[in-house]
Amino acid sequence: MHWLQRLTYAMLLLTLMCGGWLNSVEAAANTSPATVVELPQNVPGVVYGVTQDQQDFLWLAAEFEGLLRYDSQEYLRFMPPGPRRAVSFSQVVSDIHNQLWVGTWGNGLWRLDSQRKNWQHINSSLPTEARIQSLFLSQSQVLWIGTTDGLYKLNPDSLQAELWQPLAGQRIWQLTEQDDGTLWVATSKGLYRLPADPLAQGEWLQQAEFRDQEIRAIAVQGQHLFVGLRTHLYLLDLSRPDQVLHTGFGNPNTILAESASSWLLGSIDGLFRLNLSGGKLSTELLQSAVDIRKIFRDRRGQIWLTSRNNGLQMLPAPAIRPVEPTISTFLNPKQPHRLGPPSKTDTRWQALEKSLLQLHQGQWRELTFAAASPVAYVRDVVQFGAYTLAATDQGLFVLNNDNQFVPVALQISSKPLNIERMVIAADGALWLGLWQQGVYRIGAEAATQPVADWQAVQLQTDIQAQEGIVDIQTDAQQRLWLLSRQGKLYQGEADKITLRWQPDHQLATGYFQCMLPVQDSLWLCTDKGLIRLQQDLQTQTLLGHTEGLPDPRVIGITRTEQFVWVLTRNGVLSFSPDGSNLHLFAPRPGLDLSSAQLKGISPLDGDQVQLATSTGLWQLSQADMTAVPTSMQLHLTSMRLNRQLFHVADTNGSILLPEKVEELQLQFKLLTFQSHLRVQYFFRWQAEQRWTALGEHAVLTLSQLSPGQHRLEVMAQAGGQFVQTRPLLLQVPVPFWQRPLGIALISVSTALVLGLLYHLRTRRLQQRAATLDRLVAQRTAELELANQQLKLLSNTDSLTGLLNRRALYAAAALLQAQRSRSPSALTLVLMDIDHFKKINDLHGHDSGDAVLKAVAAYLKQRLRAQDLIARWGGEEFLLLMPQTDLQQASRLVEELRLGIRQLQIPILPVPLSATFGLSSVALQPDALEQAVKAADLALYQGKAQGRDQVVLASP
């Protein structure tokens, strides 16, 4: 028997050891060994360095917040292991292996691997307490480390730092590199040159302007070398070293080339632009009172600024210029104006409220309408032969010799004529599109006749009476197209108008505003997006938010030489005629697009457009637009597992999770760095065929994942592009006892144990009869105790120890049965803790649980023996008061309310309060439910009246 027992014990021990070893392996696979990841408490205010890694994330070296990753909306903090909260980070660069090199102020150099898991303190030949002023990664991937005590050259392979002896003891401010590999070093002693040849010796620049001077900033572009001192900024032409330009610009920190003749300069006094023109330098202030520390251009050309007082920001957008000459003298700054679309004959025209502005001899002049004509809106101005005509809501007007517009008396029965659109067709005829009055044509011969002889002919048309023509355009084939407000598209000929296209039932519910023929397409503006109709009028495409439109309500469209421009009140979109090369313009200070006018966009010379708003006319060029980025990257940016934050740098397509996953939250982000670019997210679970929309925020919350492998795919759509992640596999381990090895070991152990029990039972049955009887009795008692405990648990709330809802219903049923035999008063009370959600949000769920326990303990202490109390759900409690009418109950509950206000709960800075709703319980079978509803209404009445009160239900 002894050998069988020993074998059984050995098998059990082996089972436990195998299970524990496998679990430890899984736990180790899920442990990030070094990096501490957290959300920073504050938005960084002091940022010195910035770089961009291969995943397009921006990394910031912040003085107080440490090393931060920025994804265009959220910062994530990465800290090295150990007590390093006070480390001041000064610089950061990313190399070709996607590693981050991080410089600190007094803590030397650190390296963070490409997986963003392991930190390494670089202390080989580099002082561990080094104060790093600059980090520079050369074209040959050599890392140069500028400190307050000299320049070090780091070999990335051996991690050995070598001090460059000629610069020992010097403060190294900055480094820059020419195209040929020559390095220029700004030091506290002057300007130093390092040739590209590693065997060559460096040299000090001996020009008097730089000898023994502290050089604060340096930059090179081609043959231009900028050198910034405390009080002056110098420009050297390296091909002609004797020619030096300078300007009185002090305290520069950083310089970045913007173009061949302009540079951006950051100083402690703000952001400046330096221009080189005619051999002279001039500076322009772009932003004042900002201590700029670095100007950085990312891979898409976007320029970022880091500063000591304003953190990280994009380069401020330039102000939009008003169109010259300005019409501001004709506008009332205190009253919005309604500007009509501009027109061009042999001069420029701009409709303004009840008059017309004409550009005359370089200045605008105002022309009015005849006093008897109550013109409220001008649509178009055309030159019809020798006549200048204006289309208005009161009919057709002609300009007379006194520079006044007078009405044209057309022989048309409908009066007045509300002309929505007026154009001259390819054959010279004048077309008038009227609002709900049809379409009229005046032949080209009328341009040589007196106005009194004009004949306006209404064309035979399919246009219904209630339709209004909103736009008339001529395409490249000289065909005339007419668009109605309902979206019907007609083709006009000399004697008829034919319906050629109409929108389907979904688009027909919207409003159409304008159209534009471009090459073989017709673009139609609607309040549901932009429709592109192909030449066959059969193929249509609807462009909306996800295709790049700032707003689906399109109110204007025009064409310049290279681009199509689309106007909305949330921004402007431009693109090439084939639909590519998207650029966006977002509203900015100085230009309020919310007041943009209908059809308020028109072409100007030089691929520019004019925008009309209620405040004036503005000039917009492609340089003012932001390109919609291509090759955007979509990443899993963070993961919360059971409420703990993790960073996921590179999952290799798989994440190994622990066996118990209570809640898993995954956050994805498309890195656009353009807040005005609308992004829509979608996901697909377990290789489903269809995608499910997530909206504008890609946050997925999963709970109670079963063991096994789960497949997740996420896709983003922005600017007409689809960006998809590779499938992400979530691995939830199968418990040890469900694996083949575990099943085998448990089966063998079970068989051995059963055999041992059977052997012992047959050999010692009589000797252990009494022992077995006692054991049976003991287990029976334990079972009864367990059943009692189970019954108690099933009837009570686990947090407060009060009755739960099911137990209360059972007790209430007994009370109702007793009342049916002996009627008596019964009052029901619903109580709700005030502002409980705010307590949870401000102090955490643990604090909320403590409040619930304290309130429950108080209620149990103060209530009478016959009263029943239960936790009804969340922060609500329900009380049943037998043999107590409504007035008696209200006095008791009022005492409870005052007592709750006096509860001493250390975690709460203000007194706790509660609101009560009271209702009488009748004798009918459904009286309890009716009383709960009545008390609930009284409770919410109390909430609406300001909380912390007792409200009786209406009879």
pLDDT on residue 13: 41
Alpha-carbon gap, residue 83 to 103, rounded angstroms: 17
More reliable by pLDDT, 258 or 465: 258
Q: Mean pLDDT in the chain?
A: 87
pLDDT on residue 782: 56
pLDDT above 90 covers a percentage of the chain that reads 52
User: What band does 950 get if pLDDT is binned at 50, 70 and 90?
Assistant: very high
**Residue from 463, 460, 500 nearest 480 by CA:** 500
> Tokens representing 893?
């509950």
Out of 17-26, 451-460, 568-577, pick the least confident: 17-26
Whether the per-residue pLDDT at 411 is higher than 90: the answer is no
Alpha carbon 764 to its chain's center: 76
Out of 250-259, 411-420, 682-691, pick the least confident: 411-420
Asked whether 389 and 396 are in contact (CB, 8 A), the reply is yes
Q: Which residues contact 199 (CB under 8 A, 6 or more apart)?
A: none
User: What band does 506 get if pLDDT is binned at 50, 70 and 90?
Assistant: confident
> Tokens representing 731?
């691995």
pLDDT on residue 458: 87
Asked whether 567 and 555 are in contact (CB, 8 A), the reply is yes
More reliable by pLDDT, 152 or 590: 152
Whether the per-residue pLDDT at 375 is higher than 70: the answer is yes
pLDDT on residue 30: 37
Q: Which residues contact 611 (CB under 8 A, 6 or more apart)?
A: 567, 572, 591, 593, 596, 600, 601, 617, 618, 619, 620
Strands 596-604 and 608-613: antiparallel
User: What band does 713 get if pLDDT is binned at 50, 70 and 90?
Assistant: very high
**Residue from 323, 407, 408, 398 nearest 359 by CA:** 323
Whether the per-residue pLDDT at 282 is higher than 50: the answer is yes
Alpha-carbon gap, residue 188 to 174, rounded angstroms: 10
Whether the per-residue pLDDT at 356 is higher than 70: the answer is yes
Asked whether 687 and 595 are in contact (CB, 8 A), the reply is no
pLDDT on residue 7: 43
Whether the per-residue pLDDT at 448 is higher than 80: the answer is yes
Mean pLDDT of 60-73: 93
Query: Could you report the per-residue pLDDT of 816-830, keeping only the tens digit for each?
Result: 888 888 899 999 999
Whether the per-residue pLDDT at 23 is higher than 70: the answer is no
pLDDT above 70 covers a percentage of the chain that reads 92
Out of 15-29, 638-652, 778-792, pick the least confident: 15-29
Whether the per-residue pLDDT at 652 is higher than 80: the answer is no
Alpha-carbon gap, residue 562 to 574, rounded angstroms: 10
pLDDT on residue 777: 65
pLDDT on residue 326: 92
More reliable by pLDDT, 759 or 387: 387
Q: Which residues contact 771 (CB under 8 A, 6 or more apart)?
A: none
Whether the per-residue pLDDT at 566 is higher than 80: the answer is yes
Whether the per-residue pLDDT at 594 is higher than 50: the answer is yes
User: What band does 603 get if pLDDT is binned at 50, 70 and 90?
Assistant: very high
Task: Return phi, psi of residue 836, to 5°.
Answer: -70, -35
Q: Could you give the angle at the alpha carbon of 237 between the alpha carbons of 234 and 240, nearest 5°?
A: 125
Provide the whole-model pTM.
0.70
Out of 80-84, 123-127, 385-389, 837-841, pick the least confident: 80-84
Query: Could you report the per-residue pLDDT of 770-792, keeping only the tens digit for each?
Result: 776 676 566 656 556 555 555 55
**Residue from 195, 96, 175 nearest 132 by CA:** 175
Mean pLDDT of 95-104: 94
User: What band does 854 get if pLDDT is binned at 50, 70 and 90?
Assistant: very high
Whether the per-residue pLDDT at 639 is higher than 60: the answer is yes
Whether the per-residue pLDDT at 871 is higher than 70: the answer is yes
User: What band does 144 get if pLDDT is binned at 50, 70 and 90?
Assistant: very high
Alpha-carbon gap, residue 222 to 180, rounded angstroms: 10
pLDDT on residue 650: 59
More reliable by pLDDT, 56 or 787: 56
